[in-house]
Structure 1
Amino acid sequence: MMQVKDIMTTTVVTIRGSASVAEAVELMKAKKLRALIVEPRSAQDPFGTITESDIVYNVAAFGHDPKKVRVYEVMTKPCITVYPELGVEYLARLFAQSRIRRAPVVDGQQLLGIVSISDILFKSDFVTLSKSLFLEDRIEAAREEARLICSEQGATSPACAAAWDVVEELQAETAHQREPEKQKNSLQNYCDANPEADECRIYED
């Protein structure tokens, strides 16, 4: 599975929280960006973001002067951050659950990049990812669930047996997918197209 570090954008544009919204807009225009990362004020201060939506919904919609409104007044802080080793599938799930479109990628207080839903769509391999890899994740999750059920209800309980049956079924499906497809010879291909031909008839004793 690809990770955030494989698809993130490493060139990140930041702005101070004390800057005006007008400055933020000019920076967005110049860099063709929809969001900026707000710099922490100290090592303990969390990261923030200011997006085009923040500006439109909180400044333009109320007729406020963007030269007088400060970034810290309309930004989102603290914002959701992600680690570079997070799997893309889990990143997508995080975005879906929190209804956000982008997040800073951090290692402690070090800003490494930014990742967005566009990165997931255009840079990740979720479209071409083989089903077998998805099944491996499901098998591991099923194993964990089976262990939990068996520890709670007993190793000889029907629920425990059923949980391990699920694991075995997933393993069987994975093994089936890994079996190489048998290539048909020229006679088999001919018989598929001409099943009534004499040489294609099967005689039983």
Structure 2
Amino acid sequence: MMKAQDIMTQDVVTIRGSATVAEAVKLMKEKGLRALVVNRRHDEDAYGIVTETDIIYKVAAYGSDPKKIRVYEIMTKPCIVVNPHLGVEYVARLFANTGIRRAPVIDGSLLGIISITDILRNSDFVEQPKAVYFEDQIQKAVEEARAICAEKGPTSRECAAAWDAVEELQAEASHQQARKPAKTAFDDYCKEHPEAAEARMYDV
């Protein structure tokens, strides 16, 4: 499964919050960028981001002079950041839920920036859709759970643990697809072995 660090752009262009919007525009034009990460002022400070949308909506739309407006006046800070180990599909969902198009990739320090363009061009969501991936993993886990239960017995701890693993995968798949399954593989198994349900009633 691809992660943010696998598809992010590592060559990140940053700017000071005290820089003028005119300087930001010049830098964007020179580098062919749509956003700049705003540097932290110190180690405990948060990163910010200024985008072309910020400039157009907050400066150009009002006829303001970009030479007199500072980046910190229009930037978003703290901005939404992405962990480098976050799966690409979750990055896509984060973008969808928040309406953003790009975010810095940070793990203590700034590692890169990831955008919807990176997801479209560099990820494997076309070749390896995660729904298909989870279906394969769930099927393998179900087969393994049934084999363990056949060997150890439907009321054994090993059988219960195996079905726990299956349901964790099904829960992840449901979360990925934003829907709840009508029934689980364990529900089907319990129709054949009703006694198996009691083995999964753990003490809290």
TM-score normalised per structure 1: 0.68
Unpaired segments ≥5 residues, structure 1: 148-161, 169-205
**Equivalent residue, structure 2, for 1:78:** 78
In the TM superposition, residue 133 of structure 1 has moved relative to its aligned partner by 1.3
Deviations 1:22-80 (A, max 9, x none): 00000000000000000011111111000000000000001110000000000011100
User: Residues 81 and 123 of structure 1: is their aligned pair in 2 closer, same or farther, counting only changes over 3 Å?
Assistant: same
**Equivalent residue, structure 2, for 1:52:** 52
Local SS of the residue matching 1:19: coil
User: Residues 146 and 97 of structure 1: is their aligned pair in 2 closer, same or farther, counting only changes over 3 Å?
Assistant: closer
Local SS of the residue matching 1:105: strand
**Equivalent residue, structure 2, for 1:10:** 10
**Equivalent residue, structure 1, for 2:125:** 126
- 1:91 alignment partner AA: V
Distance 1:125 1:33 in 2: 24
**Equivalent residue, structure 2, for 1:28:** 28
In the TM superposition, residue 132 of structure 1 has moved relative to its aligned partner by 3.9
Identity %: 59
Q: Give 4+ residue runs of structure 1 displaced > 4 Å after superposition.
A: 137-142
- 8 Å contact from structure 1 (residues 142, 166) kept in 2: no
In the TM superposition, residue 164 of structure 1 has moved relative to its aligned partner by 4.2
User: Residues 64 and 166 of structure 1: is their aligned pair in 2 closer, same or farther, counting only changes over 3 Å?
Assistant: farther
Q: Matches of residues 151-190 of structure 1 in structure 2 within 5 Å?
A: 162-165=183-186
Local SS of the residue matching 1:81: coil
User: Residues 166 and 25 of structure 1: is their aligned pair in 2 closer, same or farther, counting only changes over 3 Å?
Assistant: farther
**Equivalent residue, structure 2, for 1:113:** 112
Local SS of the residue matching 2:114: strand
**Equivalent residue, structure 2, for 1:154:** none
Local SS of the residue matching 1:67: coil
- 1:143 alignment partner AA: E
**Equivalent residue, structure 1, for 2:100:** 100
- 2:97 alignment partner AA: Q
Number of aligned residue pairs: give it.
153
- 2:22 alignment partner AA: A
- 8 Å contact from structure 1 (residues 58, 74) kept in 2: yes
- 1:115 alignment partner AA: I
User: Residues 5 and 137 of structure 1: is their aligned pair in 2 closer, same or farther, counting only changes over 3 Å?
Assistant: farther
In the TM superposition, residue 127 of structure 1 has moved relative to its aligned partner by 0.1
User: Residues 144 and 58 of structure 1: is their aligned pair in 2 closer, same or farther, counting only changes over 3 Å?
Assistant: same
For the pair shown, the structure with the greater C-alpha radius of gyration is 1
Distance 1:45 1:52 in 2: 23
**Equivalent residue, structure 2, for 1:143:** 167
